[in-house]
Amino acid sequence: MINKCLFPVAGYGTRFLPATKSMPKEMLPILDKPLVQYGVEEAAEAGLHDIGFVTGRGKRAIEDHFDVSYELEHQIAGTGKEKSLEGIRALINACTFSYTRQINMRGLGDAILKGEAVVGDEPFAVVLADDLCIGEERGVLAQMVGLYNQYRCSIVAIEAVPEDQTSSYGVIDGEKISDSLVRVTNMVEKPAPEDAPTNLAIIGRYILTPDIFDILRNTEPGKNGEIQLTDALMHQANSGCVMAYKFAGRRFDCGSVAGYVEATNYFYENVFDEHP
């Protein structure tokens, strides 16, 4: 059983400066809800109610979001505005929240290693909240938990991206198991298009088995001097098994301004239920 979901949220969000100078990028709203709340809702829907955050300096707004706000709630008690907080209240009641800090931002792999303190020795999910996903029928994490129960190995979500965009992603190659599943045999971090083995890019949803922590501890800094999760996953793929899953649904890269605007428009047209 997977119960835990880790949210590495310590990154600087440089693609969204100056908005992210003092505000966590994960608190950017799509319509009236911050990105991180969409991510926690997706985790809860998948049955993962123990939520862990790897935070960093300047990220306290995330902790405050998943807590009560007494003054505000007292102020709006008994008014129609209370309704706006129903969703977040239900989420707070359904989940537990733990926090640990990454002191030096040495990359996603390092952030996940810091998460060992809240995850312990069990399989867990990882959500990069700036990748906003809408699943078909059920959420992307719920789809992946189902697969984990079948294969019992680490699973990465993948998406076919335009070939000129491979340098923004970890890219996989492997043995096709079905239309939606590939057993990974190769993984390259942010390859130039001419070096990319495929156009199948890893997006911000993972299920990881806990041996990843020991591997990360022994992983040398890779591309950009950061501890790369991709390097550790490649180790797992070589010594055991990593599956790559073409999820059913749609993803928006809300860490970029263009993806953020696209998500905002999509949600306003298709998801928002309070058009004026």
Q: Which of residues 31-70 bind ligand UTP (CB under 6 A)?
A: 54
Is 203 an interacting residue with respect to ligand UTP (CB under 6 A)? Answer: no
In the complex with ligand UTP, which residue's Cβ is closer, 245 or 260?
260
Is 14 an interacting residue with respect to ligand UTP (CB under 6 A)? Answer: yes
In the complex with ligand UTP, which residue's Cβ is closer, 102 or 143?
102
CB of 148 to ligand UTP, least distance (A): 21
In the complex with ligand UTP, which residue's Cβ is closer, 111 or 145?
111
Question: From CA 28, how far away is CA 42, in angstroms rounded?
Answer: 17
**272 burial type by CB count under 10 A (0-12 exposed, 13-18 middle, 19+ buried):** middle
DSSP 260: H
Is 115 an interacting residue with respect to ligand UTP (CB under 6 A)? Answer: no
Is 102 an interacting residue with respect to ligand UTP (CB under 6 A)? Answer: yes
Is 19 an interacting residue with respect to ligand UTP (CB under 6 A)? Answer: no
Is 15 an interacting residue with respect to ligand UTP (CB under 6 A)? Answer: yes
Helix axes 140-151, 35-45, angle to 10 degrees: 40
Which of 230, 251, 248, 200 shows the shortest CA–CA distance to 35? 251
Radius of gyration of the chain (CA): 18
- Taking CB under 6 A as the criterion, the residue among 36, 62, 91, 108 binding ligand UTP is 108
Which is it for strands 124-127 and 131-135: parallel, antiparallel or unpaired?
A: unpaired
In the complex with ligand UTP, which residue's Cβ is closer, 97 or 181?
97
In the complex with ligand UTP, which residue's Cβ is closer, 102 or 198?
102
**12 burial type by CB count under 10 A (0-12 exposed, 13-18 middle, 19+ buried):** middle
In the complex with ligand UTP, which residue's Cβ is closer, 12 or 213?
12
What tokens appear for 162 in the block?
Answer: 């335009």
Is 170 an interacting residue with respect to ligand UTP (CB under 6 A)? Answer: no
Is 105 an interacting residue with respect to ligand UTP (CB under 6 A)? Answer: yes
Is 109 an interacting residue with respect to ligand UTP (CB under 6 A)? Answer: no
CB atoms closer than 10 angstroms to residue 99: 18
Q: Which phi and psi angles does 157 have, rounded to 5°?
A: -85, 140
- Taking CB under 6 A as the criterion, the residue among 46, 62, 91, 128 binding ligand UTP is 128
Beta bridge partners of 33: 30
What tokens appear for 107 in the block?
Answer: 């990359």
Is 106 an interacting residue with respect to ligand UTP (CB under 6 A)? Answer: yes
Q: Which of residues 237-256 bind ligand UTP (CB under 6 A)?
A: 255
CB atoms closer than 10 angstroms to residue 32: 11
- Taking CB under 6 A as the criterion, the residue among 5, 10, 133, 181 binding ligand UTP is 10
Judged by the rule CB under 6 A, the positions of this chain that interact with ligand UTP are 8-16, 54, 102, 105-108, 110-111, 128, 130, 255
